[in-house]
Amino acid sequence: MKKKISLILICVLFMFVISGCGNKSTTQNPDTQADNKDTQANSETDENTDKTVEIRWLTFETPGLTAQLYDGIIERFEAANKGIKVIREVSPQDRDGYLKTMYATEQLQDVILGADALSNVDGALLPIDEEVYSLLEDAAVFKKDDKVTTIPLSKQIKGNVFYNKSLFEKYNLQIPNTWDEFVNICKVLKDNNEVPIIGGGPDKAWLTGVMLSGPMLTSALNTADPNWPQALKEGKMTFNGPVVKDVINRWKDLIDKKYFHEGSFDFTYAQMVDEFFKGTAAMVVNGAWMAAQADKTENSFEIGWFALPGKNETKYVPVDFGNPLAINNSTEHPEEAMKFVKFFIEDKETYGAFLKADGSQSTTKEVVEYEMGPVQKELLTNSSKLTSAIQYIKVKGKDALPSGIVKVTNVAWQNIFIGSDVDKELDKVEEKYRTFLKDNK
């Protein structure tokens, strides 16, 4: 009997508990319901936050391409692509060496700005979707094994002459059309105790020989043989042959006659540019990116631009489809990385801001325009009258120079600048070129 009563009491108590729980859920006041909804919403937000994908973006900084510029690009992208966070990293001075090290140690970032050193390394970069690279003008699309792995952001005029117009007017100097006319300008300036040219050297290997790798060799090689890459591969043209040797000797003549500022080899890139803006020298050889900087800098003189003449005429102007944006082939977030690359060239505010800061032209079929200063306008006007030729060290695809040779030539130009024998250095370059050519097959 007692067992039956106990069982009945347990059942009643159980039904009461269930009933009480049910009444509690249906009689919550509005404030309590609102609190629960907020809690639920916060929980969902936390889940979404957990799903945020982070991609690492490797950049490099210059006087034009600043942290502020990059931060603005990231801010616009993240606002338009919820759930993707971009972590920006900055490359050290030796960008090519750093890229190769990061790739070799499997630490390469997801997206890379300035991926030149990996553009010819098989399997390093992710093929770009056709819907992305089809936005580019045809000349800017470089295929290897029928794949496109880089998106060049900039069409740049490479390594020509910015000059002090006041000094040219003072000595009644005109823009040269031949090499002899250019040398005469240097002589007149030197004879009047002016510094003709200022250069740089220690912080950037390419800087010492920018006059060579930009206008001089590009012009000479294309004048000698428009199909020079193939001629070089076949041995019909060599690095220690007459065409290249003539260029190096003409450059060396400028050095021997002390037409370069005596401190040129010791100036960093930034110091070289600053000294030119101060009026220390009449001319500096630099890329188009300096035009934007010149327009923003307050100087006591007007700056102009002209293309360095070839041996007998001014015909070619070296250009490069540069600043390649690429994606690590081993990225864990290929879809998000591809969205970032596409956004970069499709969003006009983003792309226009980058081009203006870089002083370059767009590479897309739809031209992206931006407000230009007087130096940029003069550069584009004067260069448009000449024949564009891809800068010889920037030729891509099957005609590209073998990986490693540009670093070798940079060292050779530096050695020559400080007194090494031209023939000796060119023989070493030629030997290395043939070795790299064989190794890269």
245: which 2 tokens? 């040797």
160-320+390-439: which CATH topology? D-Maltodextrin-Binding Protein; domain 2 (3.40.190)
Residue 346: count other Cβ atoms within 10 Å of its Cβ.
13
pLDDT at 291: 92
Domain boundaries, the chain: 52-156+321-376, 160-320+390-439
- In sequence order, the 6+-apart residues with CB closer than 8 A to the CB of 316 are 215, 218, 219, 222, 223, 307, 310, 386, 387, 388, 389
Inter-residue contact 366 to 140 (CB < 8 Å):
no
pLDDT at 50: 58
Where is 364: in which H helix or E strand? none
Residue 332 in 3-state DSSP?
coil
DSSP 316-330: EEEEEEEEEEEEBTT
From CA 437, how far away is CA 395, in angstroms rounded?
15
Instruction: Look at strands 160-164 and 303-306 and give their pairing.
Output: antiparallel
**CA contacts within 13 A on the Cβ side of 280:** 18
Axis crossing angle, helix 217-224 with helix 242-256, rounded to the nearest 10: 150
pTM of the complete model: 0.73
pLDDT at 441: 67
pLDDT at 44: 42
Inter-residue contact 240 to 430 (CB < 8 Å):
yes
Q: Left (φ > 0), alpha (ψ -120 to 50) or beta: where does 379 sit?
A: alpha
Written as tens digits, the pLDDT of the chain (441 aa) is 444 444 443 443 333 333 444 433 323 333 333 344 344 444 444 444 458 999 999 999 998 899 999 999 999 999 999 999 999 999 998 899 999 999 999 999 999 999 988 988 999 999 999 999 999 998 899 888 899 999 999 998 888 999 999 999 999 999 999 999 999 999 999 999 999 999 998 777 889 999 999 999 999 999 999 999 999 999 999 999 999 999 999 999 999 999 999 999 999 999 999 999 999 999 999 998 899 899 989 889 999 999 999 998 888 999 989 899 999 999 999 999 999 999 999 999 999 999 999 888 899 999 898 889 999 999 988 988 898 899 999 888 788 899 889 999 999 999 999 999 999 999 999 999 999 998 876
DSSP 92-146: -S-HHHHHHHHHHTT---SEEES-GGGTTSTTSBPPPPHHHHTTB-GGG--EETT
CATH superfamily of 52-156+321-376: Periplasmic binding protein-like II (3.40.190.10)
Q: How far is CA 57 from the centre of its chain?
A: 13
Does this chain's domain 52-156+321-376 share its CATH topology with 160-320+390-439? yes
pLDDT at 14: 39
